[in-house]
């Protein structure tokens, strides 16, 4: 004990300048050190690398990397609003995983204002309420935003750690350094696939920019893999912010609730209406759902449609084409209905863990049900049949979009359901500058497996005859 005390004393002597500051730490002194009170908005720009969260080639690999040539974020703490404008280039060679391939420069704009979130692509705005909480978290974990949010949410202070909760949205811990500057954020947010997702941000190398303190080095991880590494070169406090919500966004507050149904064959339906589709296949005494994308809200709308189309048969299986978050975000809700998930072995352990994960920040349907979900794996092929209809689940081998991508093939109906290997363009869209390697690979797999396909039901986009795939990859039959 005495030895411990003398060691402690030695440590205190070494750290005495810091220890003196630590005694002064209060949320007010952090606000003062950051000069946060006078910052109503802030714009910062730089460059670095970012990573496509939830789009890894296999569940055990890091998120795919991109080179960020330019990055500008405008954060308004009064509206509140956030706008990110990026220009990025492909960072993986060869391109593996989602968000690929990127040819040349890709421009991206992500916006949040109040309770609306949307993306801008050229002249088009697309509602993305699925990203709302993450963007709100991004705003309230910026170096100045976190101080304001701490004050607004009656944060507590323990040592150098400021903690607060925005109920139903996120939990945040912010650690301050010896100068009372925010150096680390540890947040937990709700996530459609992961339940609770950890978000960590590190701020370092603080400098003075126009009278406010700002960290030129920003590093962020989401779900324990790197998400952003940014070097900030320019900071403008109190920059102007256009936080107006475009009319089409205001008019589409719940895009995931819209389900449009097309009958493809007797007992086979295509469920579309938004950015992600599903397929429903009726068997003798049950139905099979192929894909439950996005989130609880989408899954609830798809479930309601399934029950309208086939009221008397339970869903026995949901086929998960791959683990990418946009495609697997509705699995938790379907698992809450005691439906067994079928996925490639590559995804099995990941999906089992995801379905068993807690959702404590914002309890979802699965968390409320208390169920853990069941996942059955498969390798090259699994056949589901009831004697009248056959559904073949097949691995799309060698596809660089994902190592464990599966498709559903109905031999009698000559229908193929696939995700991300081939996404048909809009009917009058100009031909892309280069052929998509994922689509070339899909065509090779169709040939290798000798599949007789008439129609493709893509899980993005519209139903097309197989000739469209051949045309897209440059084979004209
Ligand atoms: Zn994907």
Mean pLDDT over residues 360-366, rounded?
97
User: Exposed/middle/buried for 168, CB within 10 Å: 0-12, 13-18, 19+?
Assistant: exposed
CB 291 within 8 A of CB 327: yes
d(CA 51, ligand 1 centre) in Å: 14
d(CA 421, ligand 1 centre) in Å: 8
What confidence tens digit (pLDDT) does each residue in 399-447 have? 999 999 999 999 999 999 999 999 999 888 888 888 999 999 999 999 9
d(CA 318, ligand 1 centre) in Å: 17
Name the pairing type of β-strands 315-319 and 287-290.
Answer: parallel
12-17 long-range contacts, Cβ below 8 Å, gap at least 24? Answer: 17/178
Residues above pLDDT 90, as percent of the chain: 88
Nearest Cα to Cα of residue 391 among 476, 318, 337: 318
pLDDT given for residue 9 in this prediction: 45
Low-confidence winner among 169-178, 225-234, 235-244 (lowest mean pLDDT): 235-244
CB 243 within 8 A of CB 76: yes
- Alpha carbons 457 and 419: distance in angstroms, whole number: 9
Q: Report whether pLDDT(69) > 70.
A: yes
pLDDT given for residue 22 in this prediction: 46
What confidence tens digit (pLDDT) does each residue in 318-334 have? 999 999 999 999 999 99
For residues 317, 425, 87, 326, the Cα torsion angle rounded to the nearest 10 degrees is: -10
Q: Report whether pLDDT(174) > 50.
A: yes
Mean pLDDT over residues 379-400, rounded?
97
- Alpha carbons 151 and 154: distance in angstroms, whole number: 5
Q: Report whether pLDDT(5) > 50.
A: no
pLDDT given for residue 428 in this prediction: 86
* Sole residue written with tokens 């960072």: 91
Q: What distances in angstroms separate CA 149 from CA 38, 155, 203, one per listed residue?
A: 14, 8, 17
Residue 475 — pLDDT band, cuts 50, 70, 90? low
d(CA 251, ligand 1 centre) in Å: 28
Residue 88 — pLDDT band, cuts 50, 70, 90? very high
Q: Report whether pLDDT(20) > 50.
A: no
Mean pLDDT over residues 206-224, rounded?
95
d(CA 321, ligand 1 centre) in Å: 9
Helix axes 16-24, 2-14, angle to 10 degrees: 80
pLDDT given for residue 24 in this prediction: 65
Mean pLDDT over residues 1-30, rounded?
55
pLDDT given for residue 210 in this prediction: 87
Name the pairing type of β-strands 195-204 and 65-76.
Answer: unpaired
CB 49 within 8 A of CB 227: no
Name the helix (H) or strand (E) containing 202.
Answer: strand 195-204
d(CA 325, ligand 1 centre) in Å: 8
Specify the DSSP class assigned to residue 256.
G
Low-confidence winner among 14-18, 91-95, 153-157, 395-399 (lowest mean pLDDT): 14-18
Mean pLDDT over residues 33-37, rounded?
92
Mean pLDDT over residues 389-396, rounded?
98
Structure tokens at 2: 């005495």
Angle at 319 between CA 304 and CA 134, to 5 degrees: 70
CB 421 within 8 A of CB 402: no
Mean pLDDT over residues 168-177, rounded?
97
Q: Report whether pLDDT(371) > 80.
A: yes
d(CA 330, ligand 1 centre) in Å: 14
pLDDT given for residue 6 in this prediction: 47
d(CA 424, ligand 1 centre) in Å: 15
For residues 157, 160, 164, 169, the Cα torsion angle rounded to the nearest 10 degrees is: -170
CB 274 within 8 A of CB 256: yes
Q: Report whether pLDDT(207) > 90.
A: yes
d(CA 420, ligand 1 centre) in Å: 5
Helix/strand number for the chain, H first, E second:
13, 28
d(CA 337, ligand 1 centre) in Å: 25
pLDDT given for residue 19 in this prediction: 42
pLDDT given for residue 212 in this prediction: 92
Specify the DSSP class assigned to residue 243.
-
pLDDT given for residue 204 in this prediction: 98
Would you list the DSSP string of 204-229? ES-EEETTEEE-SEEEEEETTEEEEE
d(CA 97, ligand 1 centre) in Å: 7
pTM equals 0.93
d(CA 419, ligand 1 centre) in Å: 7
pLDDT given for residue 2 in this prediction: 45
Nearest Cα to Cα of residue 199 among 225, 217, 219, 221: 221
d(CA 234, ligand 1 centre) in Å: 35
CB 305 within 8 A of CB 271: yes
d(CA 452, ligand 1 centre) in Å: 24
Half-sphere exposure in the Cβ direction for 29 (13 Å, CA): 14
d(CA 124, ligand 1 centre) in Å: 22
Name the helix (H) or strand (E) containing 327.
Answer: helix 325-328
**Higher pLDDT residue, 155 or 430?**
155
Low-confidence winner among 9-13, 33-37, 260-264 (lowest mean pLDDT): 9-13
Structure tokens at 395: 């691995």
Helix axes 145-152, 132-140, angle to 10 degrees: 100
d(CA 37, ligand 1 centre) in Å: 43
d(CA 353, ligand 1 centre) in Å: 19
């Amino acid at each position: 004990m005495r030895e411990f005390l003398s060691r402690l004393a030695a440590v205190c002597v070494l750290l005495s300048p810091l220890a003196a500051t630590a005694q002064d730490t209060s949320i007010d002194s952090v606000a003062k050190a950051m000069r946060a009170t006078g910052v109503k908005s802030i714009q910062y720009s730089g460059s670095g690398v970012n990573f496509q969260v939830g789009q890894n080639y296999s569940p055990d690999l890091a998120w795919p990397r991109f080179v960020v040539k330019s990055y500008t974020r405008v954060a308004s703490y009064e509206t509140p609003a956030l706008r990110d404008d990026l220009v990025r280039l492909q960072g993986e060679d060869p391109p593996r995983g989602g968000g690929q391939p990127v040819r040349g420069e890709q421009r991206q704009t992500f916006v949040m204002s109040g309770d609306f979130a949307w993306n801008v692509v050229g002249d088009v705005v697309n509602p993305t309420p699925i990203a709302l909480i993450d963007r709100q978290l991004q705003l309230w974990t910026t170096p100045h935003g976190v101080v304001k949010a701490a004050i607004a949410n009656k944060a507590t202070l323990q040592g150098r750690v400021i903690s607060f909760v925005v109920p139903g949205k996120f939990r945040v811990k912010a650690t301050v350094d010896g100068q009372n500057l925010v150096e680390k954020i540890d947040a937990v947010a709700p996530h459609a696939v992961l339940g609770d997702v950890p978000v960590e941000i590190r701020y370092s190398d603080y400098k003075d920019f126009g009278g406010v303190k700002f960290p030129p080095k920003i590093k962020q991880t989401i779900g324990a893999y790197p998400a952003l590494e940014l070097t900030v070169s320019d900071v403008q406090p109190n920059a102007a912010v256009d936080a107006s919500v475009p009319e089409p966004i205001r008019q589409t507050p719940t895009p995931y609730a819209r389900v449009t149904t097309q009958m493809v064959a007797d007992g086979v339906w295509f469920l579309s209406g938004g950015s992600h589709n599903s397929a429903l296949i009726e068997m003798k005494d049950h139905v099979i759902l192929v894909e439950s994308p996005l989130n609880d809200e989408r899954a609830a709308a798809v479930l309601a449609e399934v029950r309208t189309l086939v009221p008397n048969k339970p869903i026995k299986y949901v086929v998960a084409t791959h683990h990418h978050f946009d495609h697997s975000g509705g699995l938790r809700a379907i698992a809450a209905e005691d439906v067994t998930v079928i996925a490639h072995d590559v995804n099995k352990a990941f999906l089992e863990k995801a379905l068993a994960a807690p959702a404590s920040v914002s309890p979802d349907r699965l968390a409320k049900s208390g169920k853990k979900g069941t996942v059955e794996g498969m390798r090259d092929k699994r056949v589901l049949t009831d004697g009248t209809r056959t559904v073949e689940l097949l691995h799309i081998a060698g596809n660089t979009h994902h190592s464990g991508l599966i498709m559903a093939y109905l031999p009698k109906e000559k229908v193929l359901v696939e995700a991300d290997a081939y996404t048909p363009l809009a009917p009058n869209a100009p031909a892309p500058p280069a052929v998509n390697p994922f689509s070339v690979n899909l065509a090779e797999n169709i040939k290798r497996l000798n599949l007789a396909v008439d129609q493709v039901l893509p899980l993005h986009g519209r139903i097309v005859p197989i000739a469209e795939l051949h045309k897209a990859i440059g084979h004209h039959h």
